[in-house]
Amino acid sequence: MSLARPEERGTAAMLTRPRLHELDRQDPLAAVRERFALPEGVLYLDGNSLGPASKAMSGRIGEVVAVEWGGDLIRAWNRRGWFRLPERVGARIAPLLGLASDEVVAADSVSLNLFKLLSALLRRAADRRVVLAERSNFPTDLYIAEGLVGMLRDLASGEGPELRLVGAEEFLGSLGPDVAVATLTQVDFRTGRKRDLRRVTRAARDHGVPVVWDLSHSAGAFALDLRADGVEFAVGCGYKYLNGGPGAPGFLAVVRERQEELRPGLAGWMGHAEPFRFETGYRPGAGMRRFVTGTPPVLSMAALEEGLRVFESLDLGALRRKGEALGDLFIRLVDQRLSGFGVSVASPRRAAARGSQVSLRHGDGFAVMQALIARGVIGDFREPDLLRFGFAPLTVRYVDLWDAVEALRDVLASGEFREERHRRRAAVT
């Protein structure tokens, strides 16, 4: 891509705002940004926490409320296909994951979907009893595993299963014949470090261990190819890069060959083979249907469906290239413009090892981020010292990188963040 121009190959080549502006002019995804309703005066680098609303969103949700619910009432479940929303939305997510449309459903939350897969895989595992996870995983994944294992230990009359938490570097060495299931997040929410799905999944399979991947910071940020990578089980988030709206339902993916083997511990009527037979006993629905539990939240589901429309016929290669370029350029700008301000790069410098985010460290990280947000540059802060900047390729411009780094430079140079720090202390005491 155009970044490869001769004058920019050396790390010494200085980036300029006009040069970044030129990259925006050449950006094949620039038109997609026009489909989003971004507020004036805001430079939004937090799409990895909550994606923005598309311009079509208000109209679509208005239609669901006034026409589908308001006008059709109960008849909308059939007329508007609400019953098939889990599959309909799943089918829109599937190509982003590199899976077939009948291998993904949208349902509940990431947390609950992880519970379904961990419990089902633990059941399938016969005498293996360890749930393996990385200590640095996103905490809700750990809490779900801890909650499941804790409940089973309390209620098992003999020995229950065990949750084994290990450091990232110990993970592969911890795979063994006692491990029933492992869970990992591909992109670390703190540093943006990205794991190699294929390598880790294969290594685990060599030990007979299925891995449930959390793709919350992956799906929609770059193209995935789970089928080629041998990934069989995954969950993920609807409200980050998929732009499904606050608290949008999560997704759950299982390759076709494994679907019928699994019995999730959460069995609700919407996952029954024939819910309107109102049978006394549970019969799991075919394929992915069994992973749906209660009645889906239709408004939030419809918003996720609408958010996913933006990905229709999108060049997923361009998505990955832009995401990598944004991160690379941001790091170069940090190197060029912020040296001497006490900022360091916490994310991998190699694009292939990084998700669509870059985290910086600064001892006054919280106060610095507050000062940035006060200037309309919205990233977020994670304990203890991380400034997180998300580069959703559909909505972030190259020139935004320049403006964000300049704002950060101003905040650091002026020392205005120290006022934020004092304000915070005053508020606490």
Q: Which of residues 313-342 bind a copy of itself (CB under 8 A)?
A: none
Among residue numbers 46 through 105, which ones bind a copy of itself (CB under 8 A)? 46, 49-50, 52-53, 57-58, 61-62, 65-66, 68-77, 82
Under rule CB under 8 A, which residues in 142-181 are in contact with a copy of itself?
A: 142-144, 146-148, 150-152, 154-161, 165
Catalytic one of 239, 330, 366, 417: 239
Angle between helix axes 110-124 and 139-155 (nearest 10 degrees) is 40
**Is residue 143 annotated as part of the catalytic site, yes or no?**
no
CA distance readout (Å), 355 to 34, 82, 90, 209, 225: 24, 34, 22, 25, 15
Interface residue with a copy of itself among 282, 341, 409, 410 (CB under 8 A) is 282
Please, which residue, 86 or 348, has the CB nearer to a copy of itself?
86
Q: Which of 240, 290, 320, 397 is catalytic?
A: 240
80 part of the active site: no
Q: Per DSSP, what are the bridge partners of residue 184?
A: 213
To 10 degrees, what angle do helices 398-414 and 416-428 make? Answer: 70
Other Cβ atoms within 10 Å of 83 Cβ, number: 17
Residues 386, 324, 234, 383, Cα dihedral to 10°: 0
Q: How far is the CB of 10 from a copy of itself (least distance, A)?
A: 37
Nearer to a copy of itself, 279 or 315 (CB): 279
d(CA 114, CA 212): 8
What's the rounded Cα separation, in Å, for the pair 89 and 79? 17
Question: If binding is defined by CB under 8 A, does position 286 make contact with a copy of itself?
Answer: no
- Position 251 contacts a copy of itself (CB under 8 A): no
Residue 106 CB, shortest distance to a copy of itself, in Å, is 11
Which residues, 410 to 429, sit near a copy of itself by CB under 8 A? none
The single residue listed with the structure tokens 């200037």 is: 375
Active site residue 55: no
Site string for a copy of itself, 12-41 (x = CB under 8 A): -------------------------x-x--
Give CA–CA dist 161/156, Å, rounded: 9
Question: Is 198 marked active-site?
Answer: no
Per-residue contact string for residues 102-141; x = within reach of a copy of itself by CB under 8 A? ------xxxxx--x---x--xx-----------x--xxx-
Backbone angles phi, psi at 164, to 5 degrees: -110, 115
- In this structure, what token pair is assigned to residue 411? 């905040």
Q: Which two tokens stand for residue 396?
A: 């972030």
CB of 270 within 8 A of CB of 72?
no
> Which among 44, 115, 138, 398 is annotated as catalytic?
138
Annotated catalytic residue: which of 108, 141, 188, 214?
214
Contact partners, residue 419, CB within 8 Å, separation at least 6: 371
25 carries an active-site annotation? no
Assess 245 for contact with a copy of itself (CB under 8 A). Answer: yes
Binder among 35, 375, 382, 424 for a copy of itself (CB under 8 A): 382
* CA atoms lying within 13 Å on the CB side of residue 260: 3
* Residue positions annotated with a catalytic role: 138, 214, 239-240, 388
